[in-house]
Amino acid sequence: MNPSIRLKLERLDERFGEVTALLAEPEVQANQDRFRELSREYAQIEPVTACFGRYRACEVEMAAAEELLRDPEMAELARDEVAAARARRDALEPELQRLLLPPDPNDRRNVFLEVRAGTGGAEAALFAGDVLRMYARYAEAQGWRTELISESEGEQGGYKEAVMRISGNGVYSRLKFEAGTHRVQRVPATESQGRVHTSACTVAILPEAEAIDEVEIAAGDLRIDTYRASGAGGQHINKTDSAVRITHLPSGIVVECQDERSQHKNKARALSLLQAKLLSQAQEAQASEESASRRLQVGSGDRSERIRTYNFPQNRLTDHRINLTIYKLDEVMGGSLDQVIDPLVQEYQADLLAALAAG
């Protein structure tokens, strides 16, 4: 184990003992805020120290077995015990490292997923629609819930832009690496000579804000317009100004929602989306101060970087951030995204571990 990581574990173990003792003190128990703060810290540290305890127990077993190696009659049995204890210890090391990684406070949140057609005209809008369906299928496979908040359809299908809310367990933790420019290479349905065209769409992943960290929005900073929703919904939706468009005047951000028939519900959903955008904007500004460049663009919503290429003639997907290439594009577009997301998560964790060991 890296000495720096071991030192961090030993310090955490000491701190765990301190927190455990503090929680038993009557003065702390009488102070609800202090007790709550320490209880939260206890819950964060306990899994790490428990795993470190098992790791050190394996080291003790190895040391005891190595002592027996000096006895010729016990040497063979001792060698087996040393090997078994070492295997258990080595298996615990990756888990310990993972538990040491700082948690992303957004990981458990729901998200607003925005898809916008980029260069490529009608084909870009069609690809944007395909990408949105890919995420919807992935969400369905994960047991998440999806709601199409707003949409602007392309002239030949797909979407010029669309916003989908995805809710469920750990949504942001799985989708946070999807923000950026997605490029497609394929023969459009309208192409008579069979030539491969290149077009693109952009994806933004916005963690849904919670009341505890909402950016304050003054009522005077908002312009709220209502209009008649378009698309499916029957006669009612065409006769009622149920759709809502909100403009945040200081930033120029515009959001809208036409999913619900109730104007009140649409306004609430649009305000939630605006909240997420403003929070994301604030977080981006903070992140840019902390780091000029983040290779995986985690949580940045950066739309300028081409992160992925979808080559349909070759059934190939390439993620340019980690040089990942797989020839199962049909599966990915069908919602089998774990084979792309898992390597991104592993690479990100490796980067964090490297920083942890160097710190």
Confidence tier at 202 by pLDDT (50, 70, 90) = very high
- Which pTM does this prediction carry? 0.65
Strands 243-248 and 316-319: unpaired
pLDDT > 90 fraction of the chain, expressed in percent and rounded: 45
Rounded to whole angstroms, the Cα distance separating 347 from 192 reads 42
Which tokens go with 143? 């047991």
Phi, psi (5° rounding) for residue 308?
A: -155, 145
Region 271-294: mean pLDDT is 67
Q: Is 89 helix (H, G, I), strand (E, B) or coil?
A: helix
Domain 111-213+304-351 has CATH 3.40.640.10: no
pLDDT at 236: 43
Q: Does the structure show a pLDDT above 90 at 130? A: yes
- Where residue 173 falls among pLDDT bands split at 50, 70, 90? very high
Across the chain, mean pLDDT equals 84
More confident residue, 7 or 333: 333
Task: Say if residue 296's pLDDT is above 70.
Answer: no
Does the domain at residues 219-285 carry the CATH identifier 3.40.50.300? no
Contact 56, 92 (CB under 8 A): no
